[in-house]
A = this chain, B = another copy of it.
Amino acid sequence: MDDSSDIARLIALMARVPGLGPRSARRAVLHLVKKRSQLMVPLGNAMQAVAQSARECLNCGNISTHDICPICADTARANGQICVVEDIDDLWAMERTGAFKGRYHVLGGTLSAIDAIGPEELRIPRLVDRVTTENITEVILALGATIDGQTTAHYIADHLSGIIVSTLAQGVPIGGELDYLDDGTIGAALRARRQL
């Protein structure tokens, strides 16, 4: 590195992007510098645009460029089903399968005694509200097959009544995270969901 602080600063910031470390950040920045007009300028612009426009859906916690995300705003998806996921990448993974036609609720994590994460941190009260206000008949819990994920699933099931509460049953490996599964496995797990 020379004393070009702009470049050194860009490398330091890139090294904080998940999936990149100090070495890969250097390689990435070198590539970006070589592809200034084709890649670095559009990428910088896209980051500015998303930083300006991205927001959490006030209803479900999904991220989009609207206060109410396109999924919540889509009346065709008001089919009485809410799929509860831990995080947005799980929502994206579920959407890629095309297997689910209802709406989502993004918890933002799982209950965790160790990390002191309780129901209020996880939009669980908001989920309970939505079940009544949106005429929900079924809540599908698409949480990871981890101890915290299953604890969270049972906590939610205990706090919902008068509706079907189901969970992805088949294909989610023990300890596995949803986002790492292939689309077919997620689809199969959805179809074979069992009622809690």
Contact = CB atoms under 8 A, between A and B. Distances in A.
A48 B29 CA distance: 12
A175 interface: no
A32 B46 contact: no
Contact of A69 (B2, B42, B54, B96): B2
Interface string A54-90: 1000000011111001110000000000000001110
B54 A47 contact: no
A2 B33 contact: no
A6 B46 CA distance: 7
A4 to B, nearest CB: 4
Contacts of A46: 6, 9-10, 13, 44
B41 A44 contact: no
A105 interface: no
A63 B19 contact: no
A72 to B, nearest CB: 10
A179 B42 CA distance: 28
Nearest to A12: B46
A117 B42 CA distance: 29
A54 B6 contact: yes
Interface string A1-33: 111101101100110111110011011111111
A102 to B, nearest CB: 14
A13 B39 contact: yes
A192 interface: no
Nearest to A71: B2
A32 to B, nearest CB: 7
